[in-house]
Structure 1
Amino acid sequence: MTQKGKVYKFDDIHCLSSFLKSASSEKTNPAGIYLLEYGTQQKFVLASESFLLQSNGLHSPMGGNTAAFVNEANRKQAQQQVNGINVKWNDIIQ
């Protein structure tokens, strides 16, 4: 979401990351970056506060295969099912 209230939506965390790294993102001036918790359609978490899991077993729409969780317990539960590695938001956007 930009400072002016415009909302950009992405179907994959890595598409969001690419957008933020592009020159066009300088114009958006994000007020907040929110990720939808994996397996829900209602829970959003600030990207900087999210618990991320990367796994080939997640099969995200654009192949990023990274999911966000609101807490460590939810991430661990998913990790037991799909394995994968824990990732930090800063690692994704660098």
Structure 2
Amino acid sequence: MKPKNILSYTIGLISLLFLSVQACNSSAGPKPIRYGQDQCAYCKMTVSDARFGTQLVTKKGRAYNFDDVQCMIAFVKEGTVKRDDVAGFYLPDYSNDNELLPAEKMLLLKSESLKSPMRGNIAAFATEKDLAQARAQHTGDVLTWDDLWK
């Protein structure tokens, strides 16, 4: 091989390796939930309300969907998936198109007026402003992610 061909071959191989690593890393993020079709991994009800549908993704990349954050917590507490095997927990941003975001970064509001599917009645918010606006409408208690595990 000529030096120019070796360089091209090496660059191509490195690029392929980089893309492969990126593909593996992307498996840890949230997967789309098919509302109205996917079942809650804990209670087996159809996940139908995007404001409350949650997800955990294992370190192996398997996604489990839940219709309520309380189902997700119970699923892990019962040991179906060990907490150490979870790559990420994701909650929907109640105020912004229900985008699934890392649970540890979310601000939580528990209010009886939220009426989530399994009556956990907990909504997640990405910002203090959104939480304050929701709290003005739905009086309730502000919680942290760690509070849910107690």
TM-score by length of 1: 0.91
Distance of aligned partners of 1:89 and 1:27 in 2 relative to their CA distance in 1, 3 Å threshold: closer
**What is the CA–CA distance in structure 2 between the aligned matches of 1:3 and 1:25, rounded to whole Å?**
11
Picking from 49, 69, 78, the partner of 1:13 is 69
Q: How many residue pairs were aligned? A: 94
The 5 A counterparts of 1:21-36 are 21-26=77-82, 29-36=85-92
**What is the CA–CA distance in structure 1 between the aligned matches of 2:139 and 2:112, rounded to whole Å?**
9
Worse-superposed segment, 19-28 or 2-11: 19-28
Query: For residues 22-46 of structure 1, what are the alpha-carbon distances to aligned partners after superposition, in whole Å with 9 as ceiling and x for unaligned?
Result: 1212288111111011144442221
Aligned-pair Cα RMSD in Å: 1.6
| Runs of 5+ consecutive residues of structure 1 not aligned to the other structure | none
**Structure 1 runs, 4 residues or longer, greater than 6 Å off:** none
Query: For residues 39-90 of structure 1, what are the alpha-carbon distances to aligned partners after superposition, in whole Å with 9 as ceiling and x for unaligned?
Result: 4444222111110000001000000000001111111100000111100110
* 1:85 lines up with 2:141 in the alignment: yes
Distance of aligned partners of 1:17 and 1:60 in 2 relative to their CA distance in 1, 3 Å threshold: same
> Partner letter of residue 137 of structure 2?
Q
- Partners of 1:45 and 1:69 within 8 A in 2: no
**What is the CA–CA distance in structure 2 between the aligned matches of 1:27 and 1:88, rounded to whole Å?**
17
3-state SS of paired residue (2:101): strand
Query: Percent identity of the aligned residues?
Result: 37
Picking from 57, 68, 85, the partner of 2:113 is 57
3-state SS of paired residue (1:64): coil
Worse-superposed segment, 25-34 or 84-93: 25-34
- Name which structure has the greater RCO, CA cutoff 8 Å, separation 6+: 1
| Runs of 5+ consecutive residues of structure 2 not aligned to the other structure | 1-56
